[in-house]
A and B are shown apart, each in its own frame.
Chain A
């Protein structure tokens, strides 16, 4: 079964750039899935950061779009997230997750439903000088 493992530097200085990776095992990132990043500040709720498809297409949260870059490394079977110009507000537990999509028909209308079914254990990023 697919497993995800995030890794990162832990501590980053304000205004710096944090680079996180998500290693995928038990499956290929080239499969027909999207891969999402979600973060959770200490004691707070979940925030969706964005996603990247198996072909490298990306969709970012507009609130972070100017500061983030997601990429794939198919040779290493991993996904990466870069977040620049970090501040204390970026301190959080960062998760990667697999997004699965399925076609559904609701009220005679066909659409696509998706969900995050496999998650990594998360990696903590602390922004501090």
Chain B
């Protein structure tokens, strides 16, 4: 299985800040990497697919990038509704695997 290592596991920030979350794949997955946002008790929401493509309706303050097997989710100008848990997921090969999640908390 492809292992997805996400960091940090938690992060504190303030409204208006810019934050970055990193996800490293254990082997090459090309651009087959997605990012999801989840709030407690709710289903995940797709933010970014194919490493850097913003899903419909997602604010432009979210962005994704790739450098080899390292993927980054950046959120600029944090808004109150952005405080949630974020997961990366690879779709290069089954079983699809998720990172362990990054909980973004208000400082």
Contact = CB atoms under 8 A, between A and B. Distances in A.
Given A95-B43, A104-B31, A113 B95 contact: no
B34 A116 contact: yes
B30 interface: yes
Interface in B3-56: 30-32, 34, 36, 38, 42-46, 49-50, 55
B31 A106 contact: yes
Contacts, number: 71
A52 to B, nearest CB: 12
B32 A111 contact: yes
Contacts of B36: 46, 116
A124 to B, nearest CB: 10
Interface string A18-36: 0000000000000000001
B interface: dominant SS: loop
Give the interface residue-count category, chain A.
20 to 34
B89 interface: yes
A83 to B, nearest CB: 15
B91 interface: yes
Give the interface residue-count category, chain B.
20 to 34
30 contacts: A38-B44, A45-B87, A45-B98, A45-B99, A45-B101, A46-B44, A46-B87, A46-B98, A47-B98, A48-B96, A48-B98, A50-B95, A51-B94, A60-B95, A61-B95, A102-B50, A106-B31, A113-B49, A113-B50, A113-B91, A114-B32, A114-B91, A115-B49, A115-B89, A116-B36, A116-B46, A116-B89, A117-B49, A119-B45, A121-B42
Interface of A: 36, 38, 45-48, 50-51, 59-63, 95, 97, 102, 104, 106, 109, 111, 113-117, 119-122
Interface of B: 1, 30-32, 34, 36, 38, 42-46, 49-50, 55, 87, 89, 91, 94-101
